[in-house]
Amino acid sequence: MFFKNSKHHIAPFLRRSGGIYLICIVVLVIFIGMLTTAKPAYRFSSQAITTWTSDIESSTFLYLIGLENRLFKDAFPEGKSIPKLSNTLFQVATNIKSGDPRSLLAHVIPGYSSFEHRIIVAGEGTDYANLSFESSPPLEEVLKKREAVADEPEEDIKQTENTGLSTGDKKVVFIYNTHNRESFLPHLPGVTDPNSAHHEEVNVTKVSDRIAKTLELNGIGTSRDSTDIMQVLNQKGWKYGKSYDASRPIVEEAIGQNKNIQYIFDIHRDSLRRNKTTKSINGKDYAQLLFVVGAEYASYEKNLALATAMHYEIQESYPGLSKGVITKEGAGTNGVFNQDLSENALLLEIGGVDNNLDELFRSADVVAEVFSKMYWEAEKVDVQIKEE
């Protein structure tokens, strides 16, 4: 009797379950069809997905993959607690981290998102109120034609004590400018808006040229890239925010064509105003420096070590000139800056929109001077190790 009655109950249950599964499959097929046939403007963009997932701890993804493949489960860090699915879903839905109240404040206090950046080494007077600020102007504003005045500074390039040392024909340093049209208000007559401080010729590339010349004078072979990245963006129909995507092939090509490249410098200028980007040393004004390291790639700590070493070397001879070393990651920033292409890649902010070429060139000379000293000292150590 029991089994006989059970059959009457089981059959409708199976029919209901089968109907539910069938409905779910149909809904899933319809949903996928909508996503694949919708116009690009209405699809989920990769940027939106990146924003949702960029702050989720990487171990969460490793754990989820490990549920399907035990090899990944074995790679899960020892002592690491299994992530709570509820916390992860809440974070994806709200972009608020349950254990970090700053993520809540960042949505309601303008400018608070900059606190996501970490100060690794703080220079004199450096705090979260005067960290680097990167503006993202419309590309059409960057490409506008403007009048510019630029008298070359009178101070000569100084040679360090490394006289006679040379890399010969080897170009061991590569310098480029992702935001190549970043310019300076003192050299743009009639321009007062910092977001309009852009020019096709009088811009941060002149600072890079100065660094390259000083390095060459000190025996360090240097190659300079002069690609107009802003025009590349324009040709591709990309926005200013994709600048690093546009400059990446330039770096990859340089590395591929020259195996002697050991160091890569991406030179920028800050968008902060003069009182936060200028330092007076021995009666002369210098454009302050800030080292920026992306923290969203595996080997970032090696680039961080190089930036930190340079900061301390500069601090020793020019106290207060370097504002320190910071890392950037998370939503709203690139987080890589092409630094994953080399273990000796620097992103260096030199001065801001209100600094002039005299101040910028003095700081450029300091960068080249300090780097030359560090480079030749490292070379001497390598020679001694080889001889031993």
Query: Computed from CA positions of residues 3, 5, 7, 10, in that sequence, does the dihedral angle turn out positive or negative?
Result: negative
Position 55 scores a pLDDT of 54
Structural domains of the chain in order of their starting residue, each with its CATH number: 2-104 (no CATH), 117-387 (3.40.630.40)
Position 119 scores a pLDDT of 81
Mean pLDDT of the chain: 81
| Confidence check: pLDDT of 216 > 80 | yes
Q: How does residue 7 score in pLDDT terms, banded at 50, 70 and 90?
A: low
Higher pLDDT, 299 or 47: 299
Segment 168-197 shows an average pLDDT of 96
pLDDT tens-digit map of 305-342: 999 999 999 999 999 999 999 998 876 778 899 999 99
Q: What pTM, to 2 d.p., does this model score? A: 0.72
Segment 85-94 shows an average pLDDT of 62
pLDDT tens-digit map of 28-84: 777 767 656 655 544 444 444 544 455 555 556 666 666 666 666 665 556 556 666
The Cα 253–Cα 227 span in angstroms is 12
Q: How does residue 88 score in pLDDT terms, banded at 50, 70 and 90?
A: low
Q: How does residue 185 score in pLDDT terms, banded at 50, 70 and 90?
A: very high
Position 203 scores a pLDDT of 96
Q: How does residue 91 score in pLDDT terms, banded at 50, 70 and 90?
A: low
pLDDT tens-digit map of 249-281: 999 999 999 999 999 999 999 999 999 999 999
| Confidence check: pLDDT of 198 > 80 | yes
Position 53 scores a pLDDT of 52
Position 108 scores a pLDDT of 52
Segment 221-241 shows an average pLDDT of 96
